[in-house]
Structure 1
Amino acid sequence: MDYKQIESKWQKIWADTGLYKFDRSRVDKKYYCLEMFSYPSGAKLHAGHWYNYGPADTFARFKRMQGYEVFQPMGFDAFGLPAENYAIKTGIHPEESTLKNIATMERQLKRIGAMYDWDYEIKTCMPDYYKWTQWMFLQLYKKGLAYRKEAPVNWCPSCNTVLANEQAQGGVCERCGSQVTHKNLNQWFFKITAYADELLDCIDKLDWPEKTKLMQKNWIGRSYGGEVEFQVKDSDVKFKVFTTRADTIFGVTYVVLAPESPLVDLVVKDEQRAAVEEYKEKSAKATEIDRMSSTREKTGVPTGSYAINPVNGEEVPILVADYVIASYGTGAVMGVAAHDERDFVFAQKLGLPVKRVIKSKDGSNDALPFCEYGVLCNSGEFDGMTSEEGKLAILKKLEKEGKGGLKTNYRLRDWLVSRQRYWGAPIPIIHCDHCGDVPVPEKDLPVRLPLGVNFTPDGESPLKKCDEFINTVCPVCGRPAKRDADTLDTFVCSSWYYLRYADPKNEKAPFDSEWINKMLPVDKYIGGAEHACMHLLYSRFFTKALRDMGYLNFDEPFLSLVHQGTILGPDGNKMSKSKGNVVSPDDSIAKYGADIFRVYLMFGFNYVEGGPWNDNGLESISRFFDRVERIVKKCYEVNFDDAPLSKAEKELNRVRNNTIKCVTNDLGVFSFNTAVARLMEFVNAMYNYEVNVAKKNAIYKDCAKDLVLLLAPFAPHFCEELWEMLGQKYSVFNQSYPTFDPAAMVLDEVELAVQINSKMRAKVTVSSSASKDEIEKAALEAVKDQLSGAPKKIIVVPNRLVNIIA
């Protein structure tokens, strides 16, 4: 079969007949199947794209054949840093390179044979999309969920520019290799922390991978504890620390401030100032991830000041250490060296005191640090209490004295959404000297991204250099004003795209709420696990915020989530040009066709795990296709009769129904490799029947039809051709997916192994409905010449064997 020819043939027929157009009148039967959209940073789809989109399309086609009105859109996450960096390097404008890449990827996506309805395509870099991204920003701003404050950013002093976290990995600039520092700039944030509890409490209701749910739980990081206020000695300065172990507070021997905390400048003594400033400069070069690493060596310097422990009045030194992060908790922690592993190591290194205030409940463990719960000691009136009792009693007393109380803390921080970059959606805010921050009126959206901008890095947001853009008038007072020069994080664009897909041509709103509430939530979402704590979390936040504004009536965007694994190179390593192990889909498709490539991706790997590429797998699938084609050709070369089913035909029918059952179950859980293996077994059974039975029963043609229907979601072009060869009505995808007959899976007779003392001696065939006595009688008859007396015991394993203990 000429696979290239049939792919072109059927793609044209599908397009001409509008086979995959979403029927809005059947919205009550909708099934929203969504793959994470692509970022068009490269000119071609790679094997990883195919591994996401091909199997996902198989699942979508399966749901269509089960009677659902499948909505499967496609689009492009088209703003972002790679296109801007490419423009800086080559001089090609990001819009030009992005749209060119999109056009190429559209052609390639169509070649996959996926049933995307391109009428619903979106491109996030187009004004008709980012107009509504800006609208989303304004709604959050009106509700107090978007705000501006000073925050640290990564800064390269050599390039004189702000760097994204991705550009500052390891604390060095990816462009020039210089050490990255931090500087404070006014930044925009979304108040995702306002939804921390709901984001955490609702996640277990979702059909998501447990690992992904755990990652989000840990990222949100809710912890119950207390807040305790310390007074700086000989000063009016006070500060709070958060702790989950208030039972250890009598053991505090020092407190630590984050280097970037404003408290440092308030408490540092003159004689320590030089050392502290040097330490601050050094810590500014490290990323937060590096600073928080449990394996990193802990360092710190004293400020010369002391804090007063509120429970016992003891004076403890205040130090600065970079393992404390200003934006987490209060930016200050209490050091309890005797009962915390990190604090113990830090105290040992700096020669700080260690004071035991918790002992084991049975007195069996005196080793320090003792980090478990136990019984309080050296804790005044709280001695003898358990840790559980003590921390609650201590916090209640502190609350009564106005020095602390119960507190819930979160690891999650508000989402920083402003970027000092060019290729993104402009932030729709005007800064007026008289009126302050003024939102752009909705009637003036979109705030268009100007094209003629010099985005060569010079330390400022590129849009600041575009006078036509930056200079405007205040919509409130009419005086001269400035537009915000920053652009939105591209994750803002992708946090609501699943909503726009369903209503992409709406010019009056981002979507029609009545319609969107029928179309969503997404029933099945497919994409990479690397998005667990960003895109997936941000989308949940957007959905909940829009719900609370009255635009949506559902709580979660994605009801069910599947992560695909990673395709590795033939050498078992991650594909990269430098290793020379990149697999080009184009080369394989040119030789084998898209369907064989698709089916290999599903047969050769466990979908959620991936694995190393093997070219021999393509050849194996090619041979499988040849065998299937020969079965179909046999159906119009041979005459069939409708005689009653023989034993061989009943066995073939049993395999057929068992295959239908197993493939249906496998597809439902994305177990594509086992589903294809079942189909191969079915083909083997049909060949076995063909070899052993000269006269063909009509059951053979029925099996061939079911084989094509079962295989159709995997190999759409190939199976459309086979369906036509069988003389069936167009299209195979307008047919119902086969269902199995449980009765056909029950054999009239079963063959049992007969053992004597667990050793195989004979085989016996009995009725599938035979009683235990009848089975024992038949087994004894089969081996009577091998027995020398009455058996001691007979063990019957139904449908498998009989073991006679002699």
Structure 2
Amino acid sequence: MKDQYLASDIEQKWQARWEESGIYKTDDAADKPSYYCLEMFPYPSGKLHMGHVRNYSIGDVVARFKTMRGYNVLHPMGWDAFGLPAENAAIKNGVPPAKWTRENIATMKRQFKQLGLSFDWDREVTTCQPDYYRWTQWLFLQFYKAGLAYKKEGRVNWCPSCQTVLANEQVVDGACERCGTEVHKKALEQWYFRITDYADRLLKDLDELDGWPKKVRTMQENWIGRSEGAMITFELETGDTIDVYTTRPDTLFGASYLVFAPEHQLVEKLIEGKEEGETVRAFADRMSHLTDLERTGDAAEKEGLPTGAYAINPINGAKIPVWVGNYVIADYGTGAVMGVPAGDDRDFAFAKKYDLPIIPVVSPEGEDLQAANMTEAYTAPGKLINSGDYTGMDNVAAMDAIVEALAKKDAGKKTVNYRLRDWLISRQRFWGAPIPIVYCDKCGAVPVPEDQLPVRLPEDVDFKPTGESPLNDAPDFVHTTCPSCGGPARRETDTMDTFVCSSWYFLRYTDAQNTDLPFAKDKADKWMPVDQYIGGVEHAILHLLYARFFTKVLKDGGLVSANEPFKNLLTQGMVLKDGAKMSKSKGNIVSPEDIMKTYGADTARLFILFAAPPERDLEWNDRAVEGCYRFLGRVYRYIQRYLALPAGEGTPAEEKDLRYLAHSSLARITDDIEDRFNFNTAVSAIMELVNGLYSILDSYQDHRSPAIDEATDILIHVLAPFVPHLAEELWEALGHEDSIHAQPWPAHDPSALEKDEVEIVIQVNGKVRAHLMVAAGLTKEETEEKVLADDHVQELISGKTIRKTIVVPQKLVNLVVG
């Protein structure tokens, strides 16, 4: 060993050896139980940040620990490489997205290796590479064949200056981030996946995910938003009908108006020839400049206008006015809602604002609500009033009766509704997987044959700062022949949402080199579901929901057996500095490369694992980083001292105490990693073990003993998942040729945890006054007798009367005196 701990030398040495030996390559045929450990793959932004270091350090501890526990571990890595940032960088800097992305991947891959992460790089996937997106396109075609991919008109953000669709993140304060022009909503033909077909299963199967945080399951449950109610059909004076969903059919007699989304396709027909027409059109135009959130958020004022048209309430034939309102969105539900001011807070405020009728229909027991006396909607259960033949009925019981009456008139039916909407996958961008559809004047939309995949994304396009997708100006890409008739055809120029790429990447890892299929079923079934998935809670809804959807579709198609993609989920907290999330704009970034250069990767890993439990936010602390570095130096020096001593023997008492320290520490560390992922307390236990070993060496002075040898062996084993380079160096220094990471995790010896004596706390009237060593295993009576016989205890209670004695064997005696 060198005289001092030189992190950079040690880490470079072992990283080179690991790569040369291929120690982290996973053998599918290994005769061990399988364990799939996966962290969410990163977007190749250019450089790692501390959030990356935390996420991947957590995963690396799990992977290394499970390997030492005898599992055949799959621990892969790849790149979520398509997306808007690369395209924006290309337009800004004149660098093709492919070049920008590849250079960033090279940088981040180098940094990953500097951290000593145990990834199997033979399974690396890059979503922007043709060998990956070929299979993304293949999967799109399977969805298409199953009727799960379809095209329809949808509302999008449109910049009239750039003449292009913008993603939501490109709209800043209602304006285009590039040119500052006010953004409109525009209807365009878009591709969708029918995720709503799986809404019930996605909701029900959350019960299988007991290894997920409850908050994540709740977020998904709320996002799916299942509700039971009725679809009610209103006749319009134009002769058309509109279906309206409600969870409160019992309040139908109180429906005093309808509200349409201003952009609803029937609105123009309703206002045709009416004096309200121009004001309604102007209102609709103004609404088109606002985002859905700006229109429907809690802070948004509810606005509306009458159309001058009327509808018929199907339960009583009442003629009610039809309005348009900002809080109704055409893409949500049917784009129309019924207004029941007496039973809904939003409707009550709207009716009060515009002087619309308020008809009380549900009243508390023994009361008779009057509209003139109402200051807010009544939303609790009660008896029906003003409800025709149903007056006097319990409102809950009346729901079924009213729906049955509507059904007889073909004016309503029981319905289950979802907040979840079909997944819009179209992006009018360049840097994404092309959608494998061509359009032929003769044959219509035609899927690209599977043997013609991939539909390659051209990389040599001419970027122009117009905001338009470069694919529109790539004639060699756009113009093709129809696979059905051989005539001229035009390729789809929309690309797929990047969430499509990340909805199945975990399956590609199981068979990353397969050129015939996205993955072989037997290999996917060997590893799936992922045993431990690790990533930020910001992906709790979209990514995790889409991955679950994909897995269920693929199971239905016979491609996988797993019903869910991720068995267990850990959502790690953020890394903060000065109380705020690290960001360039705040100027509080800490560079992982700077930390590794100054202290080494092992120090960076140890600090980020020790500073906080993984699910909580972590506050960066420069002094604590230095403290972790000093601790690793202390471990290094301990091994130097240990190796310098000759073998010897300790006394039985000394050996017993040392074995207790080593094995109790091992038991704590094992439990903390395996059962709770409490890495911070595991590191704390390692530090206590090191302190104890120093004390032992100080007492032995001129020799070591079998118990010291055993404890030192345990120390290096438990260090290995946390600080892999230093553990490897120390293991070699002890004379071992094989890697520490290929060694089995030690098992604690229960007999070593049996003590001859235990220390108990002595309290007098609830206050700690002394500690006393007593024989282990004493009964309550024996413990009390031993305590009362102690001279110091007698001094504490001298002159007082013992009124009560509370004994907790092996722990505590409380003497209540007066």
Read off the aligned partner of 2:683 and give its amino acid letter: V
Q: Please give the alpha-carbon distance, in whole angstroms, between the structure 2 residues aligned to 1:215 and 1:765.
A: 52
- CA deviations 1:158-198 (Å, max 9, x no partner) are 22211011112442212122221011111111111111110
Q: Are 1:161 and 2:164 counterparts? A: yes
Q: How does 1:215-230 map to 2 (within 5 A)?
A: 215-230=219-234
Q: Which residue of 2 aligns with 1:666?
A: 672
Q: Which residue of 2 aligns with 1:56?
A: 59
* Preserved contact between residue 175 and residue 183 of structure 2 (Cα < 8 Å): yes
Read off the aligned partner of 2:707 and give its amino acid letter: I
Q: How does 1:7-406 map to 2 (within 5 A)?
A: 7-26=11-30, 29-41=33-45, 43-206=46-209, 207-233=211-237, 235-269=238-272, 270-361=274-365, 363=367, 368-406=376-414
- CA deviations 1:216-236 (Å, max 9, x no partner) are 111111111001111113x31
- CA deviations 1:116-150 (Å, max 9, x no partner) are 11111111111111111110111111111001111
* Preserved contact between residue 162 and residue 468 of structure 2 (Cα < 8 Å): no
Aligned-pair CA distance for 1:69: 0.9
Aligned-pair CA distance for 1:363: 3.8
Using a 3 Å threshold, how does the CA distance of structure 1 residues 535 and 756 change in structure 2: closer, same or farther? closer
* Preserved contact between residue 764 and residue 778 of structure 1 (Cα < 8 Å): no
Q: How does 1:628-777 map to 2 (within 5 A)?
A: 628-643=635-650, 645-646=652-653, 648-668=654-674, 669-694=676-701, 696-758=704-766, 762-777=770-785
Using a 3 Å threshold, how does the CA distance of structure 1 residues 71 and 360 change in structure 2: closer, same or farther? same
Q: Please give the alpha-carbon distance, in whole angstroms, between the structure 1 residues aligned to 2:803 and 2:542.
A: 67
Read off the aligned partner of 1:13 and give its amino acid letter: R
Tell me, what secondary structure is at the counterpart of 1:189? strand
* Preserved contact between residue 649 and residue 689 of structure 1 (Cα < 8 Å): no
Read off the aligned partner of 2:277 and give its amino acid letter: R
Q: Please give the alpha-carbon distance, in whole angstroms, between the structure 2 residues aligned to 1:719 and 1:597.
A: 15
Matched residues, percent identical? 49
Q: How does 1:534-683 map to 2 (within 5 A)?
A: 534-569=542-577, 571-643=578-650, 645-646=652-653, 648-668=654-674, 669-683=676-690
Q: Could you tell me the TM-score, scaled by structure 2's length?
A: 0.95
Q: Please give the alpha-carbon distance, in whole angstroms, between the structure 2 residues aligned to 1:763 and 1:187.
A: 75
- CA deviations 1:424-451 (Å, max 9, x no partner) are 1111111011111111111111111112
Q: Are 1:433 and 2:441 counterparts? A: yes
Q: Please give the alpha-carbon distance, in whole angstroms, between the structure 2 residues aligned to 1:658 and 1:362.
A: 68
- Superposed structure 1 runs of 4+ greater than 6 Å apart: none
Using a 3 Å threshold, how does the CA distance of structure 1 residues 491 and 756 change in structure 2: closer, same or farther? closer
* Preserved contact between residue 777 and residue 810 of structure 2 (Cα < 8 Å): no
Q: Please give the alpha-carbon distance, in whole angstroms, between the structure 2 residues aligned to 1:27 and 1:6.
A: 32
Q: Please give the alpha-carbon distance, in whole angstroms, between the structure 2 residues aligned to 1:80 and 1:725.
A: 47
Q: Please give the alpha-carbon distance, in whole angstroms, between the structure 2 residues aligned to 1:315 and 1:468.
A: 59
Q: Structure 2 unaligned runs (5+)? A: none
Using a 3 Å threshold, how does the CA distance of structure 1 residues 377 and 791 change in structure 2: closer, same or farther? same
Aligned-pair CA distance for 1:708: 1.1
Aligned-pair CA distance for 1:30: 1.6
Q: Please give the alpha-carbon distance, in whole angstroms, between the structure 2 residues aligned to 1:474 and 1:16.
A: 50
Aligned-pair CA distance for 1:88: 0.7
- CA deviations 1:735-756 (Å, max 9, x no partner) are 1112222332232112334444
Using a 3 Å threshold, how does the CA distance of structure 1 residues 274 and 736 change in structure 2: closer, same or farther? same
Tell me, what secondary structure is at the counterpart of 2:572? coil
Tell me, what secondary structure is at the counterpart of 1:579? coil
Aligned-pair CA distance for 1:607: 1.5
Tell me, what secondary structure is at the counterpart of 1:577? coil
* Preserved contact between residue 417 and residue 492 of structure 1 (Cα < 8 Å): yes
Count of residues in correspondence between the two structures: 802
* Preserved contact between residue 32 and residue 520 of structure 1 (Cα < 8 Å): yes
* Preserved contact between residue 420 and residue 462 of structure 1 (Cα < 8 Å): no
Aligned-pair CA distance for 1:99: 0.7
Tell me, what secondary structure is at the counterpart of 1:325? coil
- CA deviations 1:91-127 (Å, max 9, x no partner) are 1111111111111111111111011111111111111
Q: Please give the alpha-carbon distance, in whole angstroms, between the structure 1 residues aligned to 2:16 and 2:601.
A: 15
Q: Please give the alpha-carbon distance, in whole angstroms, between the structure 1 residues aligned to 2:771 and 2:190.
A: 79
- CA deviations 1:596-627 (Å, max 9, x no partner) are 01111111123112232111111110111122
State which drifts further: 751-760 or 273-282. 751-760
Q: Structure 1 unaligned runs (5+)? A: none
Using a 3 Å threshold, how does the CA distance of structure 1 residues 394 and 620 change in structure 2: closer, same or farther? same
Q: Please give the alpha-carbon distance, in whole angstroms, between the structure 1 residues aligned to 2:483 and 2:440.
A: 9
Aligned-pair CA distance for 1:763: 4.3
Aligned-pair CA distance for 1:23: 1.4
Q: Which residue of 2 aligns with 1:6?
A: 10
* Preserved contact between residue 649 and residue 704 of structure 2 (Cα < 8 Å): no
Tell me, what secondary structure is at the counterpart of 2:686? helix
Q: Are 1:483 and 2:491 counterparts? A: yes
Q: Which residue of 2 aligns with 1:514?
A: 522
Aligned-pair CA distance for 1:545: 0.7
Aligned-pair CA distance for 1:760: 5.2
Alignment RMSD: 1.8
* Preserved contact between residue 32 and residue 70 of structure 2 (Cα < 8 Å): no
State which drifts further: 686-695 or 72-81. 686-695
- CA deviations 1:608-653 (Å, max 9, x no partner) are 122321111111101111221222222212234345531x443332
Aligned-pair CA distance for 1:293: 0.9
Aligned-pair CA distance for 1:536: 1.0
